[in-house]
Chains A and B, each alone.
Chain A
Amino acid sequence: MFYSCQTAESVQRDAYYVNGRDLYIKHCQNCHGEKGEGLGELTPPLTDSVFMKNNKTRLACIIKNGLSGPVTIHGKVYEGKMPDFNMASIDIAQLTVYITNGFGHKQGMYSSEQVAKDLKQCR
């Protein structure tokens, strides 16, 4: 009954969100925290909506290849190194849907086709 009120896209997005949450707990939560709060100045929080929005197409590359070099989150510079997570495109898509719709963000759907496209642009 409730499902009939939802579009096919939002059903898929919710499914991605739920799976993405499991992936987050498994791979990311150790450092980034349960609420995406980060850890001191060692790990940046994931709660900077401006950063998330501006770097949406870069997130897949960061997850896949890791990150070294400074990033500015909430106006603060973080210099640590993030390890690479060699995940399948579908996993990256689900994880990205979770981190860009949880923690106070609302960026909507992100498909594995989009992941493949964004990964080609990795610097």
Chain B
Amino acid sequence: MKYYFPVPTTFILAAILFLCSCKGERKLPIYGLRDTKTVKNSDGTTSVDTVYQTIPAFKLLNQDSTYITNDNFKGKVYIADFFFTSCTSICPIMHRNMKKIFEDFKDNPDLMFLSHTIDFKYDTPAVLKKYAQKLGVDGPKWQFAYGAKDTVYTLATKSYLVSVEQDNNDKQGYVHQGYLVLIDKHKRIRGAYDGTNPEQVAQLEKDIPVLLAEEKN
């Protein structure tokens, strides 16, 4: 005897398969170095866990001259970048784009912004305050951070993986990359987007809701 699916059943099966294949939720990759650690399970066996690279504890002054630490970003997704206020090359473009995202997610308390200055000579908290006010984003949602050269430069190159350096041959004195780095609730890097590239900034705008949704689970 020959067994066959009637046409409607075949159609429904195909439809289910089709729907399943489209449903696969997009997940952002986890960047940075990885390590492993052996953990003991409750039943006495051991297994291996992945240890992801995370942003280490920091303590920096913000635009209000108060200290900010990781705790200010606890349970938040945030976008970090490195800039300086007197920069006229890529920084205005980065912050023009960041400001747009800031406006778009204004009412979402789960997203924050953290801009570090790399001009440790001139960009004191008072200068950062004025800059934030003039950019029109002064408030707790967007933090502007000031710290010693070593602290900030190490944080940039080792933790956020953004290249920054002082360059006396450059007219403005500093050279840096314009990445907007997306950090998740667990302090892991989930994306880096060129803040001067409209396509990558658009991608960042699309990725933020994906990450926020993931963090809700």
Contacts and interface: CB of A to CB of B under 8 A. Distances in A.
A122 interface: no
A83 interface: yes
A42 B88 contact: no
B17 to A, nearest CB: 46
Interface in A1-50: 30-31, 33, 39-43
Nearest to A85: B88
A80 interface: yes
A72 B86 CA distance: 21
Contacts of A42: 92, 131, 134-135
Interface in A64-99: 80-81, 83
Interface stretch (B2-10, B73-81, B93-101): B93-101
A42 B89 CA distance: 14
Contacts of A41: 133-136
Interface string B116-147: 00000000000000010111110000000000
B92 A31 contact: yes
B88 A80 contact: no
Given A30-B88, A31-B88, A83-B88, A40 B93 contact: no
B15 interface: no
Given A39-B96, A43-B92, A80-B134, 13 more contacts: A30-B90, A30-B92, A31-B88, A33-B96, A39-B135, A40-B134, A40-B136, A40-B137, A41-B134, A41-B135, A42-B92, A42-B131, A83-B88
10 interchain residue pairs of minimum CB distance: A41-B134, A40-B135, A40-B136, A42-B134, A31-B92, A30-B92, A40-B134, A30-B93, A83-B88, A39-B92
22 contacts: A30-B88, A30-B89, A30-B90, A30-B92, A31-B88, A31-B92, A39-B92, A39-B96, A39-B135, A40-B134, A40-B135, A40-B136, A40-B137, A41-B133, A41-B134, A41-B135, A41-B136, A42-B134, A43-B92, A80-B134, A81-B86, A83-B88
